[in-house]
Structure 1
Amino acid sequence: MFGHLLKRGAAMLCFAAVLALPAYAEGRITTDMTMKEIRSDPAIAGSGVSTYCKGDADSLALRRLYENKTLLDYVGETTAQDSADGLNIVIENYEAGKQVTWQVYSPEEIAADSSLGCVQLFWFPGTNADGKYALVVGGNAAMKSGDLNEGIAVAAKLNEMGYSVFVLRYRILWDISNNGPLQDLGRAVQFITNHAQQFGVQPENYALVGFSSGGQLCGLFSSDKRYGYKAYDVPKPGALLMGYPVNDFAEIKPVYHAVMDPASCRWRYYWSDISGGITPDFPPTYFWYGKNDVTLKTLGYPFQGPAVRKALEANGVPCEVHVYENAPHAIGTGNGTDAEGWMTDAVAFWEQHTS
């Protein structure tokens, strides 16, 4: 009887201690925290991981504008919880002594060209025995990059499945001249390949996971043409997984050229499309998009997903394509839309073609 009372008293004390805890445990990220609170977390700050998209991070005025917004407000409902989960994984790895942020270019290269300093990989170590990894490439709207909603949120889901994941932060806006973003992707794969043993991954059978304009970069890199993976002397991707990829930049192409490469007549990545680089050797491809995607409609709906699908099928490339009624642009993991759960299907597709 006395022992029973002791146990009950101990339980009551534990319950009281739980009630006395703050709304979130130290170092833990929730969707109702402000961006300022998140950025002030010592583990997040120490890890070097990007919490703002690049355009916002580079502007003091925009940082002040967004610092009092919650994570939910900043990334939206479709990816808020996954973004929080990803940041919590970052905290866990950082506090375990693991390096999260890796520079893609050497110190000498960055010293010669400071724009290369922003090109980073955020590493999410995995537990899968075969060592397959995924490289996630978010999209960008010229001034903004999808580091959270199309990067860290997606990495969280893949990492929870056991995979090692790298999120690429690449050059955007004024730094895309001379094929900068595509070069960044190629160098990132080179970096992972050259440090495969250190990261505990295998160089082959990796998945490229791209969104919007990041999907276009992944699609171009997956080609066996002169601008693809062979130019970087790395293995071909095991699978290409894309959400609402931009295939053709349409009327944006001459604008990019006039602003970024006005004096150049050489090939530039934004003039090309994924479909034009598809050959029978193209990696197995899984992608999806929505019928209510305003961005793709603005760029010419028939020249986007439908054109990629046609090229894949014409070349006999294994593919799986989903067209949803409700799947707007920039929704990443797609929670609360028709695309919810797409990552489980995409990973099954990847495994099917690389097992």
Structure 2
Amino acid sequence: MKYLFPVLCSLFLSLACTAQTGGGVKSAGNTGAAQGIRMNLDDITAQTAIENVIFDTDFSPWGRLIFPADSGYRSGTTLGSLRLTWYSHIDAAKTVEIVRYFKNQTLRGGQFFFDIYTEEEKRLDPRKRNTGLFFFRGKKGAKSAICSAGGGFAYVGAMHDSFPHALELSKHGYNAFALIYRPGSQTACEDLARAIAFMHEYAAELQIDTADYSLWGGSAGARMAAWLGSLGTERFGEKVYPRPAAVIMQYTGLSEVYGNEPPTYACVGTADGIASFRVMEDRIRRIKSNGTDAEIEIFEGLPHGFGLGTGTVAEGWIDNAMKFWERNIQKR
């Protein structure tokens, strides 16, 4: 299977190396923060310490996965000052909203974090302890989506690149999952395949509709969505599950087209120094030439990692992506 995943581009590798030099890579579990913190909902503001969120007893044991498990890829000490490697336009208000959403869910007593691997699987591969699905509940019985953040296959930038998307989808009534996966192109796709399997196997308990589901991703996460959409769960260690009704991709310079791509929406900025808008535009053109629905939005002057695009020329792209998905649900 190695031929499916060529070595990451030198830009990603050099940036990843740069992010790990200097003070050295630290684990989020070794920050020295006091244990046993329990925040009130009103305590969660832009001034809230990131460590207080990680170690909040209501968020145990998954609080450490809200932010990158490898803290070498983030900076800032508060929710308002959070910065993630390779990402622009991090919205502090959205970061606060997401943490408050998690706190609200814990206060209501509902489960919204799910392990995708058993204890035995995690014992055999300890990296699987840093995986799981955050569930953003929409309407019961509504369609479902899985969002995968980017991070150059070096870390998972969920706070900016998948949590906001999943939350927005849930506000529109959809049931959305945000995947925390093992960095690395192969392992990330294995984890996404497992997440798809989990979603289908527990659909009745979760009260969700998995028919015509969609896969969403930014940067590395967009590659994951595209690869699973084209190659299927069976190519990554799971049994055969239905392919997605739509793949939604943000800012990734993926060029390969196999000829069996699902309907695909893409968006990217012209000032993206990591993902070429021309490469993305060409891929969409080739998918369309195969008779498959495909669409791209190109935003003048935007760099890599604009997320929801709030306050930029890209604002509203997620509404267009949802309409694209809905259009392809209706076609099936």
Q: Which residue of 2 aligns with 1:293?
A: 272
Q: Deviations over 1:196-236 (max 9, x none)?
A: 11111122111111110110111011015796589631111
With over 3 angstroms needed to count, the CA separation of the structure-2 counterparts of 1:95 and 1:31, relative to structure 1, is same
Q: Which residue of 1 aligns with 2:258?
A: 277
Choose the corresponding residue for 1:246, options 253, 256, 259: 253
Bigger Rg over Cα: 1
CA shift, 1:340, in A, is: 0.9
With over 3 angstroms needed to count, the CA separation of the structure-2 counterparts of 1:102 and 1:231, relative to structure 1, is closer
Mapped to 1, the partners of 2:236 and 2:127 lie a distance apart of 23
Q: Which deviates more from structure 2 when the two are superposed, residues 26-35 or residues 317-326?
A: 26-35
Aligned partner letter, 1:136: C
RMSD, aligned CA: 2.6
Q: Which residue of 1 aligns with 2:194?
A: 187
TM-score (ref. length: structure 2): 0.78
Return 5+ residue gaps in structure 1 as ranges: 1-23, 249-274
Q: How does 1:132-281 map to 2 (within 5 A)?
A: 132-172=143-183, 176=184, 179-224=186-231, 232-248=239-255, 275-279=256-260
Mapped to 2, the partners of 1:164 and 1:133 lie a distance apart of 5
Mapped to 2, the partners of 1:229 and 1:183 lie a distance apart of 5
On the 8 A contact 1:212/1:243 being kept in 2, the answer is yes
Aligned partner letter, 1:283: P
Q: Higher helix proportion, which one?
A: 1
Mapped to 2, the partners of 1:158 and 1:96 lie a distance apart of 20
Mapped to 1, the partners of 2:245 and 2:91 lie a distance apart of 26
CA shift, 1:49, in A, is: 6.4
With over 3 angstroms needed to count, the CA separation of the structure-2 counterparts of 1:50 and 1:244, relative to structure 1, is same
- Is 2:114 the partner of 1:102? yes
Q: Deviations over 1:10-38 (max 9, x none)?
A: xxxxxxxxxxxxxx963553334332343
Return 5+ residue gaps in structure 2 as ranges: 1-38
Q: How does 1:35-54 map to 2 (within 5 A)?
A: 35-45=50-60, 48=63, 50-54=65-69
CA shift, 1:168, in A, is: 0.4
Mapped to 1, the partners of 2:60 and 2:233 lie a distance apart of 40
Aligned partner letter, 2:105: N
The number of residue pairs the alignment matches comes to 289
Q: Which residue of 2 aligns with 1:74?
A: 83
With over 3 angstroms needed to count, the CA separation of the structure-2 counterparts of 1:31 and 1:153, relative to structure 1, is farther
Aligned partner letter, 1:157: E
Q: Which residue of 2 aligns with 1:308?
A: 283
Mapped to 1, the partners of 2:156 and 2:134 lie a distance apart of 14
Q: Which residue of 2 aligns with 1:33?
A: 48
Mapped to 2, the partners of 1:149 and 1:54 lie a distance apart of 14
Higher RCO (C-alpha under 8 Å, 6+ residues apart): 1
Q: How does 1:116-135 map to 2 (within 5 A)?
A: 116-127=128-139, 130-135=141-146
What secondary structure is seen at the aligned counterpart in 1 of 2:322?
Answer: helix
Choose the corresponding residue for 1:352, options 324, 327, 331: 327
Quick one: percent identity of the two aligned structures?
24
With over 3 angstroms needed to count, the CA separation of the structure-2 counterparts of 1:94 and 1:27, relative to structure 1, is farther
Mapped to 1, the partners of 2:116 and 2:212 lie a distance apart of 21
With over 3 angstroms needed to count, the CA separation of the structure-2 counterparts of 1:342 and 1:229, relative to structure 1, is farther
What secondary structure is seen at the aligned counterpart in 1 of 2:257?
Answer: helix
On the 8 A contact 1:89/1:124 being kept in 2, the answer is no
Mapped to 2, the partners of 1:322 and 1:239 lie a distance apart of 16
Runs of 4+ in 1 over 6 A off after TM superposition: none
